[in-house]
Chains A and B, each alone.
Chain A
Amino acid sequence: MNYILSIMPSLFAGAKMTLILFFWTLITAIPLGIIVSLGLLSYFKPLRLVLKFYIWIMRGTPLLLQLIFIFYGLPIVGIIFQRYDAALFAFILNYTAYFAEIFRGGFQSIPIGQYESARVLRLNYWQTLTHIIIPQVSKIVIPSIGNEVINLVKDTSLVYVIGLGELLRAGNVATARDVTLIPLVIVGIIYLLMTGIASFLLKKIERNFAKWK
């Protein structure tokens, strides 16, 4: 027990980094994902092609490669990121692509009649989006976004590879030092707690959207 208490501060410090990355990635990548999805649906073909290419790269290559590329690769051509900045940059780029695809599907499932009735009522594009389309899209995409949110909690462990002190690294350091499995078990439990809380909150949000159909 004493041993567990003694390693908790370092594990919590690691968990804090995990949560910070999780939080900033989420609140940046979701709005960016919406914007990119609107671009994917625009009538301007070059924009669509550029965005499709971006999504193809981001979804078609491992996030681990992207992290390594940004932190270890880019300095070769003179672009240098701090560890934390590199991690956040890679996560936002990667998750924006996934969110954009999810939102694109959501936008496309809204019947054209909803846009037309808004237009006949003379709402402008922005009013139509914010009051009518985005609430309906949100309801549709929440289950898929939920999956990505859970994935993101676990994916944060990948920053291990660029030497950022997050939860998994903290656990592994303790295990290697003290030759015991306990830190890794606790790391697992902390991940379970974080994904558990995230699922619980997502369920609540989903239920909130259930009052209309």
Chain B
Amino acid sequence: MLELKNITKKFGSRTILNKLNLTIPDREILAIVGPSGAGKTTLLRCLSGLERIDSGEFLWDGQEFDPTAPDSKSHIIGVVFQNYELFPNLTVIENITLAPTLVLKENAEQAQTHAQKLLQQLDLTGKEDLYPYQLSGGQQQRVAIVRALAMEPHILCYDEPTSALDPDLRTKVGEIILKLKSNNKMTQIIVTHDMEFASQVADQVFKVKALDDKKVI
């Protein structure tokens, strides 16, 4: 179970997140919705360690962790970025196995087997040796999901997963997210402004409101 307690994040004098509290039970899908500029992405960036919070704490199963710390104990979150951020100079399989071999010290064979299994699950068999530019947007997104999963995070976060997809693919990514919940027992967080999508896949919808600038402390 992931708990966020009193999370506050400021950029200069602007408070983006103010004493935010949130609990995400295991194997649930939480959608974080709200208008642009309300701090959805900032919340996800704090959670994944790309921004440092000003105060508050993150708890995983009751244990406090620092998402910005590089140690393995703090590795709770995997991220699928809005524009996927695959590495263009690496093939699909290299994109996926790079971090597991360098960081988790899996040997090449382990990493390959693990990657193949995930690729198969996400309908990407046969794409191993292609470069990202040779894939469609939907395929790139699925590679990004596999790449994040290969690091075996406890929670997978998506930043605006439907923003770049046409309606068909939007349904498909929804199915993938639900499948990861039922088959892989994944806890997932979706940051989106797509209310309809959120209500279709999420167990819990959390609405963030833009903080009034006057409330700045």
| Contact surface of A with B, Cβ cutoff 8 Å | 111, 113-114, 116-124, 127, 131-132, 135-136, 139, 211-213
Contact yes or no, A122 B75, CB < 8 A: yes
Residue among B86, B89, B90, B103 with the most chain A CB within 10 A? Answer: B89
Contact of B151 among A121, A127, A135, A211 (CB under 8 A): A121
Q: What are the residues of chain B within 8 A of A114 when measuring CB–CB? A: 85, 87
Q: Looking across the interface, which residue of chain A has its beta carbon closest to that of B67?
A: A120
B121-140 interface bits toward A, Cβ cutoff 8 Å, 1 = contact, 0 = none: 00000000001110000000
| B171 interface contact, C-beta 8 A | no
Q: What are the residues of chain A within 8 A of B88 when measuring CB–CB? A: 136, 212-213
Contact of B79 among A111, A117, A132, A135 (CB under 8 A): A117
Please count the residue pairs between chain A and chain B whose beta carbons lie under 8 angstroms apart in the complex.
64
| B201 interface contact, C-beta 8 A | no
| B34 interface contact, C-beta 8 A | no
| Contact surface of B with A, Cβ cutoff 8 Å | 48-50, 70, 75, 77-79, 81, 83, 85-90, 98-99, 102-103, 131-133, 147-148, 151
Contact yes or no, A116 B102, CB < 8 A: no
Q: What are the residues of chain B within 8 A of A123 when measuring CB–CB? A: 98-99, 102-103
- Complex CA gap A122/B68 in Å reads 10
Contact yes or no, B81 A135, CB < 8 A: no
CB distance from A43 to the nearest CB of B (A): 15
CB distance from B47 to the nearest CB of A (A): 10
Q: Taking A120-B49, A132-B87 as contacts, is the C-beta distance between A212 and B102 under 8 angstroms?
A: no
Q: What are the residues of chain B within 8 A of A111 when measuring CB–CB? A: 85
A-B contact pairs, 8 of them (CB 8 A): A113-B83, A116-B50, A118-B87, A122-B70, A132-B89, A136-B88, A211-B131, A212-B88
Q: What are the residues of chain A within 8 A of B102 when measuring CB–CB? A: 123, 127, 131
- Complex CA gap A139/B89 in Å reads 9
CB distance from A140 to the nearest CB of B (A): 11
Contact yes or no, B103 A120, CB < 8 A: no
Q: What are the residues of chain A within 8 A of B70 when measuring CB–CB? A: 122, 124
- Complex CA gap A114/B144 in Å reads 12
CB distance from A8 to the nearest CB of B (A): 45
